[in-house]
Structure 1
Amino acid sequence: MNVARPRGSYCLKAAARCAPLAAAAGFAVATPLPTPPCGTPPVPAYASLGVQPAMAILGAEELDASVWRPSSCTGWPAASRSRVVVAVAGLVHVAGGPETLLARAGAVSTLRSMRYWSTTDKTWRPLFLDAAALAGPAGGGDRRGDFRPSELQAGRTLYFWVRDSRSGPLVYRMRVLEHSPQRMALAEENVSPVRAFGLTLFQPAALQTVVFAQRQTNDVWGLYILARIDRQASSFIASGHEASTANRALALFRYLAGVPTDAEPTAVR
């Protein structure tokens, strides 16, 4: 029997462990097509409180086979073609409502505390060595204090700078798509190109993430993160970024949820 390679995996408690188990049992692994919570139930569905969030991890072949296109609520062009798409979804406890989530999203300087599992180094690494909010879209010279929740109003566009532990200095754009007592949505994308070894690996807007948070009951929120790498990325990085994207997306989920980012299990080992 031919068994589909578990390139993407999905599970409510331990996404990284489900696909190998299914493959060992002789079942093909079907990765659900990510659908953010924009008028319809999210796919994957929110995992329960206190467990590993649900995940969907898709590479270029799966995306082409399914003709996946981003939902309009992401703000991404419908014609976008992606090399990698990762979705992370779970229920989280957030005391203080949307202001708490906005405070965490706006506290750019604390991004230095985020850690993710490096499948290359087989260890936990800092995601960013340094980070700061910016007064405008220029380089890293016009730093300012962290963004306050009151600044993250719907329609606002803000900028921040990071020193990525892999890619070096980068400027990102943050757009507030929605902000209400019941729901918020933030979109981020790189403004700077990502270069290495004299090559441009990622053009501006090639690395995109959208975060959706929707109140479920009282202090319980559904947190959904959708991350993608555009197909226009250099062929130099044609493979191997599913794992990195998944582990980075899981670190962001945990950071916004207010839990340790370097907790087991990882998304992909």
Structure 2
Amino acid sequence: MNVARPRGTYCLKAAARCAPLVAAAGFAMATPLPTPPCGTPPVPAYASLGAQPAISILRGEELDTSVWRPSSCTGWPAASRSRVVVALAGLARVADGPETLLTRAGAVSTLRTVRYWSTTDKKWRPLFLDAAALAGPAEAGRRRDDFRPSELQAGRTFYYWVDDSRSGPMVYRVRVLERSPHRVALAEENVSPVRAFGLTVFQPAALQTVVFAQRQADEIWGLYILVRIDRQASSFIASGHEASTANRALALFRHLAGVPTDAEPPAVR
């Protein structure tokens, strides 16, 4: 599968500029280790309704020092080693609960409207230039209509295609880990490798995200998003990718929460 090279010089700039931005934002080395809401309270804890979600950003050396291992409910192997891990946790008002959340998650075509803060360009920009649900895993496969909530049943797997505004065309796989009236869990990872400057910077499954949505009271849901960049990713490109990962994760959180994705402030300026 041919994947377009990242547009512009984003990857080079990110490595040089994102790391000091994270430090300047005040993310300390003592950041608590991310723990999803799987039988225990989440870490970080959910931020208040209407507030910016709580955010934890950890790099490989912090994760290694603390011997962090992903919770089994993520579906990630316990031996997984990560270059970057980002966790967001907050509350959102969601009418009709799982139906609304799965409608938003399955509406792949609307991803082209999602915006995130680019620390490279210093402005809000589209996350994806285009996006479409796929009938199968191949990038050249037949596009189809958005996934319906009735299709997103526990144990099923789906694929979608995006034209990432930085990395070009990519295919993602989505697995429905859990679905009940009180809890939804979705896991996604890249199927396509990402190449830049003649190198494969992200192997398949190097970019992984798990979303947990759990009912707290009536229409109030806790949203917890855990994102990781695997250690197999190129250290030259992935180093300093914390700011971009955090801002993209916040865009996803807002998309699922049904709030403007380009609302101030971003996760990392």
**TM-score with structure 2 setting the length:** 0.90
Do the aligned partners of residues 140 and 107 (structure 1) sit closer, same or farther apart at CA in structure 2, a change above 3 Å counting? farther
Q: 1:113-152 residue pairs with structure 2 within 5 A?
A: 113-152=113-152
Partner of 1:250, secondary structure, is helix
The amino acid of 1:56's aligned partner reads S
Partner of 1:246, secondary structure, is helix
Partner of 2:132, secondary structure, is strand
Q: Is the 8 A contact 1:7 1:58 kept in 2?
A: no
Instruction: For residues 144-189 of structure 1, give each alpha carbon's deviation from its aligned partner in whole angstroms, at most 9, with x where no partner exists.
Output: 0000000000000000000000000000000000000000000000
Whether 2:61 is the aligned partner of 1:58: answer: no
Report the equivalent of 1:112.
Answer: 112
Report the equivalent of 2:242.
Answer: 242
Q: 1:61-80 residue pairs with structure 2 within 5 A?
A: 61-80=61-80
- Could you tell me which runs of 5 or more consecutive residues in structure 2 were left unpaired when the two chains were aligned: 1-18
Report the equivalent of 1:210.
Answer: 210
Report the equivalent of 1:100.
Answer: 100
Structure 1: 4+ residue segments shifted above 4 A:
5-9
Q: 1:155-174 residue pairs with structure 2 within 5 A?
A: 155-174=155-174
Identity %: 83
- Could you tell me which runs of 5 or more consecutive residues in structure 1 were left unpaired when the two chains were aligned: 10-15, 21-27
Report the equivalent of 1:23.
Answer: none
Offset at residue 6 of structure 1 (A)? 8.6
Q: Which moved more, 1:144-153 or 1:58-67?
A: 58-67
Q: Is the 8 A contact 1:8 1:58 kept in 2?
A: no
Q: Which moved more, 1:207-216 or 1:195-204?
A: 195-204
Q: Is the 8 A contact 1:132 1:162 kept in 2?
A: yes
Report the equivalent of 1:226.
Answer: 226
Higher relative contact order (CA closer than 8 Å, sequence separation 6+): 2
**CA–CA separation in structure 2 for the residues paired with 1:264 and 1:155:** 36
Partner of 1:265, secondary structure, is coil
Offset at residue 140 of structure 1 (A)? 3.8
Do the aligned partners of residues 184 and 125 (structure 1) sit closer, same or farther apart at CA in structure 2, a change above 3 Å counting? same
**CA–CA separation in structure 2 for the residues paired with 1:31 and 1:254:** 23
Figure out how many residues of one structure are paired with residues of the other and give that number. 251
Offset at residue 241 of structure 1 (A)? 0.3
**CA–CA separation in structure 2 for the residues paired with 1:199 and 1:263:** 35
The amino acid of 1:228's aligned partner reads R
The amino acid of 2:46's aligned partner reads Y
